[in-house]
Structure 1
């Protein structure tokens, strides 16, 4: 990285020497610093520096109009910091949003960065190495831009397919989400940047997020929704957590001591600090007492008047204020942030763009490929690209709201196709027709499709923070657009660019369908690489795509979503489906989805054989699963061997994911894959929540190990002993 001029804001006066002694442990340094602060200085450090605004009025407007959400984001763009205290050597504490790249950071204007694929796409890669590369880009750019905190990764689950923030989260499966979150966190923090997992907890929907209360049985919360957070805390030494907006059993998440203290700290051993989501803090004393440590972006609650009044009436203790600051300063000292001068540099856009392009190629999911229509021949003649403007005229950056990245550059679809064709020496020509959002020029698009040798239909969904989708259909009548265009030319490929899995009522008429997700800056190149076979798609569905809306867990169940008013005036959302969420729901209910969890095709074929399960001590010791993967096709490709477990306990779903391994195999070659399942791992693979023991515990009876290439395709089964 290239650094700019040195700032004096981190210059430390001699009086600060006691806590600036780098030979001391971070916590001891934090304690010395807090001991030297006045009460007024302490209170000034409990909150962000933004002038307080009426977020509730703005959020209501945002829910009614997506453009207003961007306006709201613009208002908080330059105020993502805590003011420094020069005489104490406390630097201006700079915070940037994530988790899909360096989003809205502290600066004027907010700094530009590499727009990466959405988190849901990253999870489709089923590859921890990709997650490390992804987090490395984010961590590097956060550090280069002089920011101290990256608000990510997001590890809530895709309980519904319509949540507006699913693009920021990884998947419907807690283990997959946890694995990806751990690797992203480690990579970010390797750059001495604080990673902040979010949104803790049960922020699995955006509907009425400032008001809704989530009711969930404890074993369901433990085995599903808390699990990825537990993994990131224990396995990545996470430095910070962001508390969510919603109520949990009637108590706001920022005031919920059972989650913020009893579980997070006492049980899991979390040593970092808890920040409120922006404006999720609802009180002074109750929030600090519960375990929230820092209010962002302003001082609506943790201001001098409220905190002093709480101290005076003893609803708050000074030691609790000190505790909150010590927790944050410990992490700042841990990563050397007091000593680091503010010297923002220049991001290597080309190098990081190349990484984004490589990641993007590995996460696309080939859903369907009848007649091996894909990959396309670079000498295919004329190629017509057809779709609405958001998908054919510009790179699909995805993700509306505060995490949206201001890109350093973008590669639109036509540019990407032409670049890749030129690199391949192909003679095909590419033209496009932009279909109006009201489909007014659909006849023109049909004529273009009929005249072309190959048609590429681009469609999709760009979700946004602050609002869930009304349903799982693509907007602007894109289903009708696809239905009418798919019958025009037999050589037609559908490229989906989605934030969420969508309904596909046109699927039977589509010969080939490629789910590319919201790719970010390198959209044009990534899609072209995949279409022409420069890259062989190897992604797997991280979240189930239902066949119809009636197949979802919340269909005809308003108490599950969007919730009902049970007499308190706010919506109550009951997770009454229990552990049957995601593929667990579809399998438990015997419903056949359109594209299930773990599904994904390739331009080649594979044979998974020689499966063995070594479990001499049953679930009491690590279990080793081995298999061979043979590429039986003509091109190199990657396959994901997936290991699921059937747990013989009442109320458990048929299968849970407990391991996976992605392997690249050359044509005709065979590679060995080994997956170890450790009973002591943070995801408790063989255990269920024991209410009496107040811990995870193994169960008696034979467990079934399932091995295959998706949740539905697990032909290799082995029984192992239980506890």
Structure 2
């Protein structure tokens, strides 16, 4: 039988009570809102992590259904204590790699470890967009661009599910901020929803066959996301053909019959709403039909049968920590972004003499794991900055020595750091930001007055490098004083090794900025516009956020408004230089024909490295931003060599590269007109352009 046929027969054999028991998680029901008022989210998830599952029904052969968080590694999982796993770089960092193969390897580690630990579901990837730079959960999401986010998310999803683990795309949809996430209403135009915020989810469904979707906390157009039929059924299932199941985010379910009728299939982590009392009452008053209950169960059981989870015994094994750590180190070295490198300060000489590491404890004492909240990984091991640098220098047979000064969070010992900077041969300043689920940042500045710390330490020693360890873009008022700046991100367990590899040129940085860095907060789309963020309280009594900027979000905002960012989308330097030349565009007649872009990439510098060829499209339609990313390809090139690149932009692709949402057709339509194809190495550096005449196409 097919997985669906098996699921249907199983549901047919179940009693009503058994069916209801499978609609929800097994955690003891609590008042989440009161609990959050009394404690923080991390303490709460620590308290209840043992019960991230659906209870087994042994007489029917239904196993305990084990669920773990995990956009950035296997996070809070079923079992006490929560399983330990490889702490990987944050998802925003992975997106900076602009490399779907890196994403595949990342997902492969996560899928492998989830299976090894006996878990059935990995709650990830997260593909909401970075609408603001201060959103607390941006570290779990890829970028501000829907195509980049979708491409990386598809690769991660396929790799996870290759291990017979259910991947769960989240948080569906427009959960792009943490502020008042349990109450806030998002008002967004349909074309904006379709062309930006739904697009990565559409790619997960159509291109990766994602088995599950997690519904968000927030309201959408006045209706809770867990009850919004337009997104849960009309779009997700009827239009996209999704065959998996929809799970609530933890405690995002707000009703019984309305939620199941709209398309929600599974409540987590408890039975606050989909319990026996509510379900039986709804069946009795016919606000809910038994066939709808059966539908919800068939959807989830089908995916469990699809991945052989009924037959698989629970036999958790041991993760190969060193092997997976080595993969994490390789990935980490390919995603760091070299933001500035005046006078070729980097890479550092391995025999640089006395090296001083200086920074606050979170960034200089321990590996920067990042990821506060339910996705936090309990690491199998970590490599501190000091140990990592000493390891790499030893491998390089270096004569250099390394010391560390930990600056107090209140900067009370800043004078000690200044003296260390004066006497060292090389100074490495480490600073950054660790964001967390459940709270947005107050502003894009690093915490604990780190901007003042850097401002006072820069300029003391000309051989000074700033290493940023961020989970969001940050403001850099001290940037003009810094000779070199490397964005290393929250790297996870291998932090110490990765940063040292990059600083000493063992690896050449090749990451690109996945989300625009503003010069000042006033340049952002929400500055002076509280209706855009954090929202305004209106007659209904809950906060309302209006996406009134429309399609002008991320680099689209900066370009449409003529604002020069500090570091734009797609930007990233290297220890070598590249030339993109011999660019040509082949566009056969016909609106459905793929467009082929070819180019040569020459390494004109002294060391091997990688460049990312980026293709953008200018759409000749009123209200469209200047450019949208439609393709990219990372290419590794040896010094003095050239590599050819061929990139195909398919108008029929799931991301609708040429399409705009048409309200009359209720579909994506390629409008007739003169399109501009831009080729370069960032959104703001596309020197190669080609005009393309396109006929109309619907679909």
- Deviation (angstroms), 1:721: 1.0
1:32 is aligned to 2:4: no
Alpha-carbon displacement from aligned partner over 1:188-231 (angstroms, at most 9, x marks no partner): 00000000000000000000000000000000000000000000
| Matching residue of 1:158 | 130
Structure 2 counterpart of 1:675, from 647, 660, 664: 647
Q: 1:567 and 1:369 mapped to 2: Cα distance?
A: 52
Q: 2:31 and 2:522 mapped to 1: Cα distance?
A: 38
1:689 is aligned to 2:657: no
Structure 1 counterpart of 2:462, from 470, 478, 490: 490
| Matching residue of 1:123 | 95
1:619–1:686 CA contact under 8 A, matched in 2: no
Q: 1:367 and 1:463 mapped to 2: Cα distance?
A: 21
- Deviation (angstroms), 1:620: 2.9
1:99–1:152 CA contact under 8 A, matched in 2: yes
Q: 1:94 and 1:524 mapped to 2: Cα distance?
A: 33
Q: 1:501 and 1:349 mapped to 2: Cα distance?
A: 30
Alpha-carbon displacement from aligned partner over 1:235-262 (angstroms, at most 9, x marks no partner): 0001000000000000000000000000
- Deviation (angstroms), 1:618: 5.8
Alpha-carbon displacement from aligned partner over 1:268-288 (angstroms, at most 9, x marks no partner): 000000000000000000000
2:355–2:424 CA contact under 8 A, matched in 1: yes
- Deviation (angstroms), 1:60: 3.5
1:618–1:720 CA contact under 8 A, matched in 2: no
**Structure 1 counterpart SS, 2:49:** coil
| Matching residue of 2:147 | 175
Structure 2 counterpart of 1:136, from 93, 96, 108: 108
**Structure 2 counterpart SS, 1:628:** strand
1:157–1:173 CA contact under 8 A, matched in 2: yes
Q: 1:645 and 1:620 mapped to 2: Cα distance?
A: 16
1:57 is aligned to 2:34: yes
Alignment of 1:273-288 (within 5 A): 273-288=245-260
Query: Which structure 1 residue ranges, 5 or more long, are not aligned?
Result: 1-23, 63-67
Q: 1:223 and 1:61 mapped to 2: Cα distance?
A: 40
Q: 1:578 and 1:406 mapped to 2: Cα distance?
A: 39
Alignment of 1:126-275 (within 5 A): 126-275=98-247
Q: 1:463 and 1:53 mapped to 2: Cα distance?
A: 26
Say if 1:388 and 1:618 are closer, same or farther in 2 by CA, change over 3 A: farther
**Structure 2 counterpart SS, 1:644:** strand
Alpha-carbon displacement from aligned partner over 1:620-639 (angstroms, at most 9, x marks no partner): 31000010000000100000
- Deviation (angstroms), 1:58: 2.6
Q: Report the aligned-residue RMSD.
A: 0.6
Q: 1:565 and 1:110 mapped to 2: Cα distance?
A: 39
Q: 1:707 and 1:618 mapped to 2: Cα distance?
A: 22
| Matching residue of 1:627 | 599
Structure 2 counterpart of 1:41, from 18, 31, 34: 18
Alignment of 1:262-661 (within 5 A): 262-617=234-589, 619-661=591-633
1:106 is aligned to 2:106: no
Q: 2:646 and 2:19 mapped to 1: Cα distance?
A: 52
**Structure 2 counterpart SS, 1:76:** helix
Query: Which structure 2 residue ranges, 5 or more long, are not aligned?
Result: none
Say if 1:61 and 1:126 are closer, same or farther in 2 by CA, change over 3 A: farther
Q: 2:498 and 2:174 mapped to 1: Cα distance?
A: 33
Q: 2:192 and 2:37 mapped to 1: Cα distance?
A: 31
**Structure 1 counterpart SS, 2:694:** coil
Q: 1:115 and 1:539 mapped to 2: Cα distance?
A: 20
1:619–1:720 CA contact under 8 A, matched in 2: no
Structure 2 counterpart of 1:711, from 683, 693, 697: 683
Alpha-carbon displacement from aligned partner over 1:320-339 (angstroms, at most 9, x marks no partner): 00000000000000000000
State TM-score, norm by structure 1.
0.96
1:171–1:177 CA contact under 8 A, matched in 2: yes
- Deviation (angstroms), 1:72: 1.1
**Structure 2 counterpart SS, 1:78:** helix
Q: 2:481 and 2:187 mapped to 1: Cα distance?
A: 42
2:592–2:652 CA contact under 8 A, matched in 1: no
Q: 1:702 and 1:139 mapped to 2: Cα distance?
A: 44
Q: 1:130 and 1:620 mapped to 2: Cα distance?
A: 30
**Structure 1 counterpart SS, 2:155:** helix
**Structure 1 counterpart SS, 2:447:** coil
Q: 2:31 and 2:504 mapped to 1: Cα distance?
A: 50
1:379–1:427 CA contact under 8 A, matched in 2: yes
2:20–2:274 CA contact under 8 A, matched in 1: yes
2:677–2:689 CA contact under 8 A, matched in 1: yes
- Deviation (angstroms), 1:76: 2.4
